[in-house]
Structure formats: C-alpha cells, structure tokens
C-alpha cells in the first residue's frame, strides 16, 4: 500500500515552520495514542503513521531529502510505521511531550540555584530625588550552618539514591514506549539523606530574617529596582544563593507631582498679586526661592524654574520645576471689603480694555447666537 504524503498525514503545508509541525504531531499523537484507544487497530495505525511523518519532517536534513525526492529519498531513514531506524520513538516523544512528562533527558541532580526575592520599598519623594541609605528586614531561606547546607547530620553524608542510581531521572513506561521522568524518590537530586540534620530537617536551608543596608541612588522613581547579588534564598543542597531585587515605590507628595525629571506644583496667588505683579515665595526640594510674577498675570500661567527638578538616576540634565499660578478668590469678606470691591468693579464698568478676554468671549457668544437665529 502506497504511503501517504507526510505533510498530508500531519495536516500542514510544505512551508510550515518547525513549531507548526511539532504542534500538529502533538495534536494527532494525543488523539490516537494507544493508551487512549486500547484495542483500536485503526487508531494505532494512525498513531504510527503520524510518528513516521514527524520523524522525517521534524528533522531538517531528512525533511530536505523528502522535499526533493519524496519517499524514495528517506526510505532508509524512517521507522516504516514501526519503532526502529533513525531516532527512536522515545526520543521523538521526549522532544514533543517532554514539558508534560518531565522528560527530555535533562537531569536535575546536584545543587540548584536559590530563588530570587523581591522587596517592595516605599520612599518619600525627597529621598527618591536626593538618594538615601536605608535598612531593610528580609525574610529568607539561608544555608543551614549546622550541616553547611548538605541537609545531612554532622558527621554523615547524603547517599546515592537507589531508585535512579544518582541520575535524578528514571525511565517510565508509557504504553509500548518509554520516557524519562524526574525520580519520585529523590525528586531529581540523585541523593537521599538517611540521617537528616536536626536543625534544618534535611532541607539544607532554614528560615531567618536578614537586615540589609541598601544604598538608594539619587533620582530613582517608581518602577526602578536595585539588584543585590547573592542576597536571595539559599540554593538546595548547598547550591548558589539567588538575588534580591528591591523594587521602588515613591509615595505621592503633598505639594509636588513628578513627571520624569520634571516637577510640577500649583501656587495660589491673590487677585492683587496677579493684577499688580510682585515677588512670591515658592517651595523647591532644596528650599524656598523667589518667583517674580509680572503684572496682569492670568490664572493658570506656567512659570519654569530651570534646574529645580530631578537629576535622572541614569544620567542626563536635571529637570525643571514648573509652577502653575492659580488665582484665589477672596472669601469671608466683611462689609468694608465688599464696598471696596463693588467700588472697584464699578470703576471698570463700560471699559473693555480692562477685561479683553471677557469682552472677546462675549463677542463670540453673541456671534454664535446670531448665526443660530440668522
């Protein structure tokens, strides 16, 4: 019986990528796996057919020969529907399904690196801008001093796992083929502790709190982080220690809002200050400074104080402080103050040169309604 085209078997195009070919084979193999279809000869045949197709199309050299010469170019390279020749099916299965069954031939025995840790640090804006050294307490797993991280009682040593022979992997039967799995006895370590340490109970690590000094560089912002190498958790079986990442979170400020290297703030001014002009004091992170407000300043005008912002942590020019003046309407007026304001308002009546924006706005409103009724 003539063999079907391998691309047709897997249901992929000739220009399919490696990942598409692997995905197609995974789908078919899971569907027609003999363990899922016991005593089903048709499913077994389709499973073997898909395995043969993947064995060729999953290998670039064999795939190239098949694309040029068809089945004749790979007759000696495929399993012919069985499990001999070329790469064994166990290898194919491990390549495609290794992430599910823990195979792939990669042992996990021996010391392993410890986990990285994260510490969320809350900072005031002033400390973030100027920099500061802070002390932090970090709960972590450290190497047990009693057994030097081995997990075995002092004077004894771990022994080779008799299940996997120290490999950390065992070969498990999956129907009529086999795959490698992490050893269930030693959990991939390759060793067993027959006489565990009394302090860490055979783990090689124990929990403790560390007080660390962290230097916060000037200019950090929310989202920045500092890496402290080797300050994370200790690795099992005496493995290397992970890292600690200190994550920055800058608190909201009562006066300033940060935007990159610039700072923003609002400064209230009185009606008289806005109309007559003058000098006002404004705050900066390095102290108070004088700001000259010109006469006839309108509410919302933005003033830029150069170099009064933030020096970026990664270098570059220091930002600016942008002050927005906001006109404050007087409240709780007494009768004399009211009369003075009324007298002042009457003195302006009928003279549009004192309120050009108001006059322009009302002219625009009048034109709008004239167009509606016209």
Give the burial class of 271: count Cβ atoms within 10 A of its Cβ; 0-12 exposed, 13-18 middle, 19 or more buried.
Answer: middle
- Relative to beta strand 278-284, strand 287-293 is antiparallel
Q: Which domains does the chain have, with CATH numbers?
A: 6-101 (1.10.287.110), 117-250 (2.10.230.10), 257-327 (2.60.260.20), 335-369 (no CATH)
Helical spans, DSSP H, in the chain:
6-10, 18-32, 41-57, 60-69, 89-101, 125-130, 271-276, 335-348, 356-373
Distance between CA atoms of residues 176 and 90, nearest Å: 10
Q: Which contacts of 21-29 are long-range, i.e. CB under 8 A and separated by 24 or more positions?
A: 21/54, 21/57, 21/58, 22/54, 22/58, 22/95, 22/96, 25/50, 25/51, 25/53, 25/54, 25/58, 25/96, 26/96, 26/97, 29/54, 29/93, 29/96, 29/97
pLDDT by residue for the chain (374 residues), tens only, comes to 578 899 999 998 888 888 889 888 888 888 887 777 778 888 888 888 988 889 899 888 888 888 887 887 776 555 444 333 334 444 445 455 544 444 444 444 456 788 889 999 999 999 999 999 999 998 887 878 788 777 788 878 888 888 887 777 887 665 555 667 778 877 777 778 878 888 787 777 778 888 999 999 999 999 999 999 999 888 766 678 889 999 999 999 999 999 999 999 999 999 899 999 999 999 999 999 999 999 999 999 999 999 999 999 988 899 999 999 999 999 999 999 999 999 988 888 777 677 767 777 777 877 777 777 76
- Cut 0.85: pTM above it: no
Residue of 295, 254, 257 whose CA lies nearest to 274: 295
DSSP for 301-355, written as a single string: -EEEETT-S---TT------EEEEEEEPPP-S--HHHHHHHHHHHHHHTT-GGG-
Of how many residues is the chain composed? 374
């Amino acid at each position: 019986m003539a063999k079907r085209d391998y691309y047709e078997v897997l249901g992929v195009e000739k220009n399919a990528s490696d990942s598409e070919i692997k995905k197609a084979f995974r789908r078919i193999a899971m569907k027609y796996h003999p363990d899922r279809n016991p005593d089903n000869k048709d499913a077994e045949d389709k499973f073997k057919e898909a395995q043969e197709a993947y064995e060729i199309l999953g290998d670039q050299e064999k795939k190239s020969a098949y694309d040029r010469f068809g089945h004749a170019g790979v007759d000696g390279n495929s399993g012919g529907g069985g499990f001999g020749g070329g790469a064994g099916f166990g290898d194919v299965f491990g390549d495609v399904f290794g992430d599910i069954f823990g195979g792939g031939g990669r042992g996990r025995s021996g010391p392993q690196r410890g986990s990285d840790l994260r510490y969320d640090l809350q900072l005031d804006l002033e400390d973030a801008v100027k920099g500061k050294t802070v002390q932090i307490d970090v709960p972590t797993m450290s190497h047990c001093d009693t057994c030097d991280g081995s997990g075995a009682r002092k004077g004894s040593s771990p022994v080779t796992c008799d299940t996997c022979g120290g490999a950390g992997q065992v070969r498990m039967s999956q129907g009529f083929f086999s795959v490698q799995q992490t050893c269930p006895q030693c959990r991939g370590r390759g060793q067993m502790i027959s006489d565990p340490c009394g302090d860490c109970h055979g783990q090689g690590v124990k929990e403790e709190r560390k007080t660390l000094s962290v230097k916060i560089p000037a200019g950090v912002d929310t989202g920045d982080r500092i890496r402290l190498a080797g300050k994370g958790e200790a690795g099992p079986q005496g493995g290397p220690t992970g890292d600690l990442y200190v994550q920055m979170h800058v608190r909201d400020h009562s006066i300033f809002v940060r935007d990159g290297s610039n700072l923003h703030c609002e400064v209230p001014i009185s009606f008289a200050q806005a109309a007559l002009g003058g000098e006002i004091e404004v705050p900066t992170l390095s102290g108070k400074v004088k700001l000259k407000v010109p006469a006839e300043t309108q509410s919302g005008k933005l003033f830029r104080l150069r170099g009064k912002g933030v020096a970026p942590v990664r270098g570059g020019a220091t930002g600016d402080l942008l002050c927005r003046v906001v006109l404050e309407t007087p409240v709780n007026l007494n009768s004399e103050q009211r009369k003075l304001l009324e007298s002042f308002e009457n003195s302006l009546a009928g003279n549009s040169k004192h309120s050009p924006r108001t006059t322009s706005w009302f002219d625009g409103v009048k034109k709008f309604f004239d167009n509606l009724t016209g």
